[in-house]
Amino acid sequence: MYIRIIRRKNKDGSVVGYVQLAHNVWNPERGFAQAEVLYSFGRREQLNLEVLKRLARSICRFLRPEDALELQAQAQGEGALRFIRSRPAGGAYLLRVLWERLDIGGYLSVAVKDRAFTTLVQEALFAVVANRALSPLSKLAIEQWVSEEVYLGHDEQLQVQHFYRAMDFLLEHAEEIQDEVFRATASLLNLTVDLIFFDTTNTYFETEEVSDSQLKAYGKSKDKRDDLPLVTIGLAVTREGIPVRCWVLPGNQHDAQSVDQIQKDLNNWNPCRVVWVMDSGMAREENRRILQRASWRIF
């Protein structure tokens, strides 16, 4: 299939060109291929270029970036171009803007100022967050993802040890980072924290060894995998569904046992008077007294 120009001579001697979309069809009677017109775009001097542009764009959707670049170079007469590489950047750019609007880099800079490799820790943390949002992978696989499959807006050569260091740092400063992130989010979105929803779930590990972990333990799995060690994950959100804070709790801990710790952690943030919304499994008498002592109302 191709686009061709045919010329016809008028009686007055003038020549008119017509632009056509055609392809070759084999004629068995004559023993050779003949052009068959699929669509006529009209006279060349009256050609609607926007139609051809739309057609070209629709065709480019099926081409690799390097093929499209080569065809563009040929059309512009620039000679051969060698395609090096192309990596998507749009999603990471959006996340980078949100990261800066929430000033996450600002308080990370303060927290890591006494550490070596401060820049790499910050960029490794951003890479982990971006990966979780765009294409969730293990920490080991993120190294290849960052170097080959996405452009994060920097040229730092991140390796797997940087991600592990970043996770150690994150664990050490989890409470203050969550506090700062939520306060920045609440300010940016003008949130009113007068209603908090809280619930828990759990997830399991594909291993039979519990080791000496204080968190990983056998318990009642919500995925019906009581045969595997678990950890419990708690999440508190605002009425709009914006996360306030999350917790990782022992896998054998009952939901109702988490209320005391969570109330103390949130009270350290000095929130305003709030209504605590939880399911009936947590609303036993002891937990109601805990929340009432903190001047929290319960629903």
Residues 93-132 have pLDDT tens digits of: 999 999 999 888 888 888 877 766 566 888 899 999 999 9
Q: Which two tokens stand for residue 296?
A: 């929290």
- Spatial distance between the Cα atoms of 56 and 67, rounded to a whole number of angstroms: 13
What φ, ψ does residue 201 adopt, rounded to 5°?
A: -145, 180
153 pLDDT band, cuts 50/70/90, is confident
- Mean model confidence pLDDT for the chain: 82
Q: What is the pLDDT of residue 274?
A: 67
Q: Is 47 a residue whose pLDDT tops 60?
A: yes
Query: Can you tell me the distance from the alpha carbon of 231 to that of 254, in angstroms, rounded to the nearest whole number?
Result: 11
The continuous run of DSSP H or E covering 70 comes out as helix 65-76
% of the chain at pLDDT higher than 70: 88
Binned at pLDDT 50, 70 and 90, residue 291 comes out as: confident
Instruction: Specify the pLDDT at position 93.
Output: 95
pLDDT mean over 33-59: 85
Q: Residue 33: which residues within 8 A CB-CB, separation 6 or more?
A: 24, 25, 26, 27
Whole-number pLDDT of residue 142: 92
Q: In this predicted structure, what is the pLDDT of residue 48?
A: 83
Tell me the average pLDDT across 33-61: 85
What's the confidence (pLDDT) of residue 270? Answer: 57
Q: Which domains does the chain have, with CATH numbers?
A: 2-76 (no CATH), 90-174 (no CATH), 192-298 (3.30.420)
Task: With cut-offs at 50, 70 and 90, classify the pLDDT of residue 32.
Answer: confident
CA distances from 188 to 43, 123, 185, 235 (A): 57, 23, 5, 21
Q: What is the pLDDT of residue 42?
A: 83
> Is residue 81's pLDDT more than 70?
no
Q: What is the mean pLDDT of residues 190-197?
A: 81
Comparing 221 with 116, the larger pLDDT belongs to: 221
Which has the closest alpha carbon to 167: 59, 90, 222, 248?
248
- The number of C-alpha atoms within 13 Å of 197 and in the hemisphere containing its C-beta is 7
195, pLDDT greater than 70: yes
Mean pLDDT, residues 136-156 taken together:
88
Q: What is the pLDDT of residues 223-276, one digit of tens each?
A: 888 888 899 998 888 888 888 888 888 888 877 777 777 877 777 665 556 677
Token readout for 34 is 């003949």
Look at residue 129 in the predicted model and tell me its pLDDT. Answer: 93
Residues 269-289, mean pLDDT to the nearest whole number: 70
Q: Which residues, listed in sequence order, are joined to residue 230 by a DSSP beta bridge?
A: 204, 217
Average pLDDT (170-174) is: 85
Residue 216 pLDDT? 85
Reported confidence tier of residue 78, pLDDT bands at 50, 70, 90 = low
pLDDT reading at 91 higher than 90: yes
Tokens representing 46 are: 């009256």
Q: Which is more confident, 219 or 286?
A: 219
